[in-house]
Chains A and B, each alone.
Chain A
Amino acid sequence: MKIVVLAGSVAGTKTRTVAGYTATTLAESNPDHEVTLLDLAEFDVVHADGRNSLDYTGDTATVVRAIMDAEVLIVASPVYQASMPGVLKNVLDLLPSDGLRDTVVSLIVTAGSVRHSLVPEMQFKPVFSYLRAHVVENSVFIEDKDIHRGEIIDDDVYLRIQRLIEDTLTLSEVHAEVRARKDAEYGF
């Protein structure tokens, strides 16, 4: 299974820390899966202009292709001004409107305080639903104080990421089975 962990910010270290940890944990515990860490800070992505996703080139094409080919997409992101960072929204704007059809998406969101804890529910999830993703019900919300100099320092964050990974993979397997059964029923 192709799994992409997307670090949805080009600045700071907290998102990269949790994305990196999640990707490493996934790869270690699931050697059969192909896990890719996609850190937006490492790519030169152009602004979305509405063209067909196949018509982008260079880094932009690499990012779009990796996301659209993924069966599981784990998005790690900070909260900017009560929503997702513009760079992350831009990447989603590059996709066709059904760009995440059949993709299971889960969210790990970092923020300065618990005042932002409903941002993933209210701001992130509707966008992923619009793109036809199966969004995992629970997400992981991490406060800045849970991370210190590139390391997660709160036990609960480890445990919650572990549960999120389990839920994500289970949901992906279930959807794959449902799809296979449904496809067989069509008989063509």
Chain B
Amino acid sequence: MDYHFNSAKGLEFGLYTLGDHLPDPHTGERIPAQQRLREIVELARLADQAGIDYFSVGESHQEFFATQAHAVVLAAIAEATETIRIGSSSTIVSTSDPVRVYENFATLDLLSGGRAEIVAGRASRVGLFELLGYDVADYEELYEEKFELLLQINENPVVTWEGQFRAPLRDAVVLPRPVDGRLPIWRAVGGTPASAVKAGRQGVPIYLAHLGGPVSSFKQMLDLYRETARESGHDPADLPVATAGFFYAAPSSQEALRDLYPHINEGMKRTNGRGFPKQSFAQGVDPRNVMNIGSPQQIVEKILYQREMFGHQRYIGQMDFGGMPFENLRRNVEIIGEEILPAIRKYTRQEEPVR
């Protein structure tokens, strides 16, 4: 399986959005959903021009989100960009038909010239189960069964399959097929070791989200993932690892904290029920904390430390959460392109090859 990583290039750097649509905490105002969607496409275009490797869009179905139809947004991004790889962050396979998910992303892959990837998640909120006609009591099994089917469709152009939550498939041909015949499909993993174990047992690449906390605890998750993969007969060297978390660069760490905190805190109150404690957020600039917040130089050091600890192939940052003004995003993309990308590529390229 080709995951398109080039060790000569070094650690990949990407951006992601959950597609949240929240008020700017400083003004209390929310831009129209149409503007938010256009700005996400524009952010991807700027990221592509700056040489950023990857851009992804999430699927959420509750209040304060705008990218429910994330595959459609990605199609617009495919048209607006040239070389950047594009994917989901994540696609909720539990409440979708894997055949339709595959059709969407294979189409996206053809339209974008082979740039599409799927990151499959199982949702942190449950409103979509009711909205889309599923029983939340089946939360775990819905995900496992549908994710397995998605993997099968990717491996086999002709599928025969039977399960609990979808009509059986008999010699079904799922079309179109992607450029390389198969799509990179990742398992989205939040904070629980149980999910890391599941990804390892399946031998699928892991997308590890980290809100905040010590680098060492996320390293333990990745160690567990690789150990489980090995025990289950998979070679961890074949399995790329990506991490995802908050990112924000400013001339100084104090400015970064000041710019970002109200957006994260107020946004999380609305989308998660609780704000982000200021004390924990202040620790976000510490080199041992996994949040990539601070001056460009501090962020480079943090990312290199994480690379040393995680041995990952890609990091993706989230900086547009909570009504962040577009001008700040544009400035960050400039900083990434001019200062952060050259530094992390310089220090991480030409290491052990990952297939």
Contact = CB atoms under 8 A, between A and B. Distances in A.
9 contacts: A49-B137, A51-B136, A54-B273, A55-B127, A68-B274, A96-B273, A99-B274, A188-B257, A188-B261
Nearest to B277: A101
B27 interface: no
B92 to A, nearest CB: 14
Nearest to B137: A49
Contact of A51 (B126, B254, B282): B126
Nearest to A51: B126
B9 interface: no
B257 A53 contact: no
B279 A55 contact: no
B274 A98 contact: yes
Interface string A91-103: 0000010110100
B124 interface: yes
Interface string B110-148: 000000000000001111000000001100000000000
A188 to B, nearest CB: 4
Interface of B: 62, 124-127, 136-137, 254, 257-258, 261, 271-274, 277-279, 282
A188 B254 contact: yes
Nearest to A53: B273
B286 to A, nearest CB: 13
B241 to A, nearest CB: 27
Contacts of A31: none
Contacts of A186: 257, 278-279, 282
Contacts of A182: 278-279
A39 B121 CA distance: 39
A188 B264 CA distance: 12
Contacts of A183: 278
B266 to A, nearest CB: 14
